[in-house]
Structure 1
């Protein structure tokens, strides 16, 4: 089974990248299932129902979130709609709207999706390591594969988390930094791992934002209104080739595809 995991989709340019590039990638690599991080998909921060439905119409089947989950308050109106395949971070406090893990069925496969937030430089969330332990005990016998989107800042925290889940999760992939790392590998226990999937959005930018605005902020140390950049776009992520019998990753391939304006 081949699963495409797409890095943080940033605003309108990111959605354009999905629209233009996803069909080609699916056809070329014979993709069975598509998962994407969508926490930046609406205007660069947050998610709306309209944008959610737009992404689903392009062929994305599961959407994970992150620290910008609540930045567009419209999400409170639809995050509990079970008809939408949304998974928000599981280590938010109890009684938080939405679901931190879900089990989806694809043909005869039961796929557990867990979303988690890191704590280093991000906030005082529940421990992602212990939260995974609790969820794993609940779903390990009800799933064939378990994929974990670890939305975190620090590379060391991501790597430690990957090692901690090795042999239990089918794959652990980092999101959030918008910079794709070149460390994709299969850990000794069979878990596919990459520190960060990268960004799906404008190429000539600073992690998706207009570069001149960010440079000016660094030069002056004054507050600036960030805007999503425009122009040529990229789609970043990984393709997981999973052995359905064992639930282990057979191959992990990093991808970065570009679409240029005429």
Structure 2
């Protein structure tokens, strides 16, 4: 199975990049399943609304994952319960609106897409190391094809969760930090891993936001509102994998970076 995962889409510039580059990626990789992280897709870079959720689906996303900033836009409460292809973090209280797992059929193979939060610097949530193994065990009774969007701050925690689940899930894709890491690989038991898939948005920015705003925070040590960068070139970050239909494990992983300055995917080694 061919699966395409697009990293955090940030604000208007991210929307523009996705609209321009996703058709190119679809043509090149011919994915059977496309997953997009949309927790920062709103124009102000915080959260998602129903209009943008439907726009993502119409553009070609099969599933939209979220993260800790999903709740920054209060509009999400108006549609999350009926948004069947929208996946919020699973390790939140059971009373939290929405779903933490979405199942999708790809031909005759069912795939489970799970979103989860890390525990370090991420605010209150259920410990993923204690919670996720039981969740995965239950999901595997239904399918061995499992994609985990692990939305976390530290690379070490993302690595740790991938080793904990190696051989139990198809892939662990890190999101949230918006900076693509150079560690895409297939772990010994067959799970694909990448600490952070990266972001889709303004290239000349700091994680999608105006550098001047971010620098004010660092240089003054005072709170300062961050505005998304709306000018200059744009970029798209993602990752592509191919899996074994019989086992749900990964046989190839390839990081993707496209920008207006470099209009082809990066010439990185493909791990097979």
Using the size of structure 2 for normalisation, the TM-score is 0.93
Q: How big is the shift at 1:14? A: 0.6
The separation in 2 between residues aligned to 1:229 and 1:147, in whole angstroms, is: 30
Q: How big is the shift at 1:137? A: 2.4
Structure 1 portions without partners, runs of 5+: none
The answer (yes or no) to whether the contact 1:10–1:42 under 8 Å persists in 2 is: yes
Q: Which deviates further from its counterpart, 121-130 or 72-81?
A: 121-130
The separation in 2 between residues aligned to 1:214 and 1:181, in whole angstroms, is: 21
Matched position secondary structure for 1:199: coil
Q: Give 1:1-262 correspondences, 5 Å limit.
A: 1-43=1-43, 44-82=45-83, 84-230=84-230, 231-259=232-260
Matched position secondary structure for 1:80: helix
Match of 2:265 in 1: none
- Give RMSD over aligned pairs: 1.1
Q: How big is the shift at 1:217? A: 2.1
The answer (yes or no) to whether the contact 1:21–1:259 under 8 Å persists in 2 is: no
Q: Deviations over 1:194-242 (max 9, x none)?
A: 0000000000000000011111221122222211002211110100111
Q: How big is the shift at 1:144? A: 3.9
The answer (yes or no) to whether the contact 1:103–1:143 under 8 Å persists in 2 is: no
Matched position secondary structure for 1:9: coil
The separation in 2 between residues aligned to 1:175 and 1:117, in whole angstroms, is: 10
Q: Deviations over 1:137-161 (max 9, x none)?
A: 2221211400000000011111000
Q: Which deviates further from its counterpart, 102-111 or 15-24?
A: 102-111
The answer (yes or no) to whether the contact 1:20–1:259 under 8 Å persists in 2 is: no
Structure 2 portions without partners, runs of 5+: 262-272
The answer (yes or no) to whether the contact 2:89–2:117 under 8 Å persists in 1 is: yes
Q: Which deviates further from its counterpart, 60-69 or 221-230?
A: 221-230
Q: Which runs of 4+ in 1 moved over 3 A?
A: none
The separation in 2 between residues aligned to 1:229 and 1:29, in whole angstroms, is: 29
Matched position secondary structure for 2:105: strand
Q: How big is the shift at 1:96? A: 0.6
The separation in 1 between residues aligned to 2:199 and 2:137, in whole angstroms, is: 32
**What count of residue pairs does the alignment treat as equivalent?**
259
The separation in 1 between residues aligned to 2:99 and 2:31, in whole angstroms, is: 26
The separation in 2 between residues aligned to 1:131 and 1:37, in whole angstroms, is: 22
The separation in 2 between residues aligned to 1:97 and 1:134, in whole angstroms, is: 21
Q: How big is the shift at 1:111? A: 0.3
The answer (yes or no) to whether the contact 2:144–2:169 under 8 Å persists in 1 is: no
Q: How big is the shift at 1:31? A: 1.6
